[in-house]
């Protein structure tokens, strides 16, 4: 995986964690709501682990967190 893509996955994970915490939702609650394991969600959010995420999962997370998916893909923060 190239450095740019690695950085983008890191930002997506940090954005997910930011909005999840803003809503007061635990990793377990979010993982169960979007039908993934808590470990997978933890890996997605971890800045030092580069875990891919499907578009379907990303959209489900955005829906559950009630934020536009583009907020999770905002690389300009």
Name every residue whose Cβ is closer than 8 Å to that of residue 18 and which is 6 or more positions away in sequence: none
Tokens 């489900």 label which residue? 60
For every one of its 77 residues, what pLDDT tens digit does the chain have, with 9 covering 90 and above?
Answer: 688 888 999 999 999 999 999 999 999 999 999 999 999 999 999 998 888 899 999 999 999 999 999 999 998 86
User: pTM (2 decimals)?
Assistant: 0.93
Where do the H-state alpha helices sit in 1-77? 3-22, 27-33, 38-45, 55-65, 69-72
Which pLDDT value is given to residue 49?
Answer: 86
Which pLDDT value is given to residue 5?
Answer: 87
Domains of the chain (ranges; CATH) run 3-72 (1.10.260.40)
């Amino acid at each position: 995986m190239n450095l740019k893509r690695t950085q983008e996955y890191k930002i997506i994970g940090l954005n997910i964690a930011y909005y999840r915490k803003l809503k007061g939702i635990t990793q377990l609650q979010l993982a169960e709501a979007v039908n993934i394991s808590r470990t997978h969600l933890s890996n997605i959010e971890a800045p030092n682990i580069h875990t891919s995420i499907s578009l379907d999962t990303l959209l489900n997370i955005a829906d559950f967190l009630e934020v536009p998916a583009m907020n999770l893909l905002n690389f300009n923060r």
